[in-house]
Amino acid sequence: MEELTMTIYYLGELEPEFLKGKEIVKIQDVEQAVMANPDFFIADNKGFSQITHLVLAKKMREELLKILDSLQEGIEIADEKGEIKYINQAFTRITGIEKDERIGKNIFEVSPNGALAQAIKLKKPVIGHRTLVGGSKAEVVSNAVPIFIDGKLSGGAVVFQTVTDILKISEQLSKTQEMLENFSQKLSEISGCRYTFNDIIGRDEKLLEAKKIAKKAAKSDATVLLLGESGTGKEMFAQAIHMESSRSSKPFVKINCAAIPENLLESELFGYEKGAFTGATKTKMGKFELAHLGTIFLDEIGDLNLFLQAKLLRVLEDKQFERVGGIETITTDVRVIAATNRDLKKMVEEGKFREDLYFRLKVIDIELPPLRKRNKEDILLITENIIGKLNRRFGKKVKGLTPKAQELFQNYPWPGNIRELENLLERTIILVDDEYLDEHHFYGYFSKANEPPVLEKSFPIKKLTDIEKEVISMALEKYGRSLSAKKMIAEKLGISLASLYNKIKRYNL
């Protein structure tokens, strides 16, 4: 049987007794010990410590090289003299140059105008360098940096990618951004609640009564019908009801039935199956599915056609529907809040709105007063609140309205209600830099033609007392019943405040 042999390597200052007379290879330094890759070696304490550190460093180097080889970017490293020490696999893939063709060459000879040569030569980073590389003539963008150890130049490294790869990454980022924007839009559709009852500003009796009813309605799952002119705050009430309800942590989905073409409204409400119509390349959930367990707000419900009214009635009664082009019946648990500025009762009489749906929606109906019929103090309260929000939004420091502007605002009928008031203030605050908004800031917006007359121009002959009663009654309705409002009425009528109080009492106003 052949005798096994083993080479013994020794690193140390003094040779141990047990090694005397044996064939050994004496190693002079630590690096030689490791690079020899011996079958077996022996070392004294000092030598062993040195070897341990070097072995660990070698292992870390190997791990680092594995990481660099796994990257998609090309990497090349050279020493301070320009001798190329390393390229990774991506370098070969991009340039077509193998390791044995590149390593050992001098960067100043093979790529004198490249980013790596420039970084080592100039001793500073070279960023965004574009060039054609290797046999592939691929266009790449390179970033190179010099490497310093203890303040002394030790070499340099370059990282590069092909322009094609960069464009692909850019395209992927764009697609990801588009997906995020679509997702964000869906989230805003589902959970876009910003208002609670605390955001509904005003002291008008009719408004306070509407808030009282709405708060009670929020405690149940009953269908709510919000009635009122455009801009009176119907969506704000809808959101406040949702936020006060047990469904507040669930979706709030809104849809304006008047803003979507009639032929698309069904698919928006109930969704559609793939292939249901031209362009339906994938199945899409409708608003009722998105609102499951939450609240759906159907604004401008009076604009719904009779066919969709029938489908909505079924959802309200059975909580079931089918997507457009689908046969599967979908069940949903959703609370419905509807709103309109139209006279649904009259539409029922004219056959334009289903009577059964009308009563299904009208379980709890809430009438929201227009701004012109609210307490005149409410206009100033709402104005103050809006100015505060706009200041925060635009970084302005508007303190409020001057007395003349306040009178102007209180006398204007606001046909567009709160929405008109908010739009006017937003436009004005953006354009002006003054601390207070005065009447000249609204020049051209208000006119006497917009102000309703206290008395009609023509009216039947009446007793003077009846006319006086009517004038005072209309003035109180227009300007309100606050002390400041009554002072203004008395001044406009040319009588004292005491006389006005006597007439109010006499006419039981």
- pLDDT above 90: residue 310: yes
| Of residues 464 and 317, more confidently modeled | 317
pLDDT band at 4 (very low <50, low <70, confident <90, very high): very low
CA atoms of 377 and 350, how far apart (whole Å):
39
Q: How far is CA 298 from the centre of its chain?
A: 23
- pLDDT above 60: residue 10: no
- pLDDT above 90: residue 224: yes
Mean pLDDT of 128-139: 78
User: What does the pLDDT read at residue 509?
Assistant: 82
Give the pLDDT confidence of 385-403 residue by residue, as tens digits.
999 999 998 888 999 999 9
pLDDT band at 41 (very low <50, low <70, confident <90, very high): very low
User: What does the pLDDT read at residue 460?
Assistant: 52
Q: Which of 348, 435, 448, 451 is nearest to 398 (CA)?
A: 435
* 8 A C-beta contact, residue 504 and residue 472: yes
- pLDDT above 70: residue 299: yes
CA atoms of 122 and 145, how far apart (whole Å):
10
Domain boundaries, the chain: 8-65, 72-165, 192-367, 371-450, 464-506
Mean pLDDT of 452-462: 46
User: What does the pLDDT read at residue 272?
Assistant: 86
Q: Which of 76, 90, 166, 78 is nearest to 128 (CA)?
A: 166
Q: Phi first, then psi: what are they for 172, rounded to 5°?
A: -65, -40
Q: How far is CA 226 from the centre of its chain?
A: 28
CA atoms of 320 and 285, how far apart (whole Å):
14
| Of residues 211 and 453, more confidently modeled | 211
Q: Which residues of 393-426 are buried (b: 16+ CB within 10 A; e: fewer)?
A: eeebebeebbeebbbbbbbbebebbbebbbebbb
* 8 A C-beta contact, residue 298 and residue 339: yes
- pLDDT above 70: residue 121: yes
pLDDT band at 120 (very low <50, low <70, confident <90, very high): very high
Average pLDDT, the chain: 81
Tokens of 39: 């079958």
Quote the DSSP letter at residue 83: B
The single residue listed with the structure tokens 């790449």 is: 140
* Burial class (CB within 10 angstroms; exposed 0-12, middle 13-18, buried 19+) of 160: buried
* 8 A C-beta contact, residue 428 and residue 407: no
Four-residue CA torsion sign, 378, 379, 383, 384: negative
Mean pLDDT of 219-230: 94
User: What does the pLDDT read at residue 27?
Assistant: 54
Q: Which of 394, 401, 382 is nearest to 427 (CA)?
A: 394
User: What does the pLDDT read at residue 5?
Assistant: 45
User: What does the pLDDT read at residue 192?
Assistant: 63
Give the pLDDT confidence of 341-375 residue by residue, as tens digits.
999 999 999 999 999 999 999 999 999 999 999 99
Kindly report which listed range (21-30, 32-41, 496-505) carries the lowest average pLDDT score. Answer: 32-41
CA atoms of 180 and 185, how far apart (whole Å):
8
User: What does the pLDDT read at residue 39?
Assistant: 44
| Of residues 277 and 429, more confidently modeled | 429
Four-residue CA torsion sign, 121, 125, 131, 137: positive
* Burial class (CB within 10 angstroms; exposed 0-12, middle 13-18, buried 19+) of 117: buried
Give the pLDDT confidence of 496-508 residue by residue, as tens digits.
777 788 788 888 8
Q: Which of 289, 192, 294 is nearest to 236 (CA)?
A: 192
Tokens of 460: 């039947």
CA atoms of 71 and 75, how far apart (whole Å):
9
152 contact partners, CB below 8 Å, separation of at least 6:
none
pLDDT band at 449 (very low <50, low <70, confident <90, very high): very low
CA atoms of 473 and 412, how far apart (whole Å):
18
Quote the DSSP letter at residue 10: E
Assign domain 371-450 to a CATH class: mainly alpha
User: What does the pLDDT read at residue 95?
Assistant: 84
User: What does the pLDDT read at residue 456?
Assistant: 42
**Domain 72-165 and domain 371-450 have a common topology:** no
- Bridge-based pairing state of the strands 84-87 and 126-133: unpaired
Tokens of 19: 């090694």
Kindly report which listed range (8-12, 55-59, 498-502) carries the lowest average pLDDT score. Answer: 8-12
CATH number for the segment(s) 192-367: 3.40.50.300
CA atoms of 443 and 422, how far apart (whole Å):
17
Q: Phi first, then psi: what are they for 314, rounded to 5°?
A: -65, -40
User: What does the pLDDT read at residue 343?
Assistant: 93
Q: Where are the beta strands (DSSP E) in 276-359?
A: 295-299, 320-322, 329-331, 335-340
The helix or strand, by DSSP H or E, that contains position 67, with its residue range, turns out to be helix 45-70
| Of residues 425 and 17, more confidently modeled | 425
Q: What percent of the chain has pLDDT over 90?
A: 41
Four-residue CA torsion sign, 233, 237, 238, 240: positive
User: What does the pLDDT read at residue 462?
Assistant: 57
The single residue listed with the structure tokens 């436009």 is: 427
Mean pLDDT of 256-275: 86
Give the pLDDT confidence of 140-197 residue by residue, as tens digits.
888 999 999 888 998 999 988 887 777 777 777 766 665 665 555 555 555 567 889 9
Q: Phi first, then psi: what are they for 274, rounded to 5°?
A: -60, 130
Kindly report which listed range (37-51, 204-218, 381-395, 418-432) carries the lowest average pLDDT score. Answer: 37-51
3-state secondary structure of 351: coil
Is the domain defined by 72-165 classed in CATH 3.30.450.20? Answer: yes
User: What does the pLDDT read at residue 21?
Assistant: 54
CA atoms of 251 and 292, how far apart (whole Å):
7
